[in-house]
Amino acid sequence: MLGYFSDHSHLYLLVLMSITTLFFALPICLSPLTWARLMLWRVPEDTDLAVYFGRCLGAFILVIELLMFRALLDPEIRIFVFDTLYAVFLLMLFVHIYGAIRRIQPITETLEIGLWLLLFVLNTLFYPAHQLGLANIL
């Protein structure tokens, strides 16, 4: 059963990516409360919504942690993980800058802008460039 349709795995990924991007990732990222209302959450009275979003975020952070752990054990995927971390750090940087500009977050979240910048710089300094033959580019 495992891999029965493996010849079509690229189509599966294309369809899955398209659906989850259109119906989950973009709506939750760009307008989380509108998405929540469409999913029948009672906003703002349903305080469990914050718990739900927190658990979802925590789950995705655990996926990133698992990727980093796998990269410790398998150097072949290390560049992919570093590239993924670039995406995480940049998107989190934009999210926090947006919140700071709109003044819709506590100061602790605005201060996190420095953390995401630092992580981006560290990701660059520790990037496994030797695997690409680019070790002394910077």
Q: What is the pLDDT of residues 80-109, one digit of tens each?
A: 999 999 999 999 999 999 999 999 999 999
Percent of the chain whose predicted confidence (pLDDT) is above 70 = 96
Q: Looking at the predicted structure, is the pLDDT value of residue 136 above 80?
A: no
Residues 49 and 25: beta-carbon distance below 8 Å: no
How would residue 135 be classed by pLDDT, with cut points 50, 70 and 90? low
Q: Which region holds residue 42: left if phi is over 0, alpha if psi is between -120 and 50, else beta?
A: beta
pLDDT at 59: 97
What does the alpha-carbon distance between residue 72 and residue 94 come to, in Å, rounded to a whole number?
Answer: 28
- d(CA 12, CA 51) in angstroms, rounded, equals 31
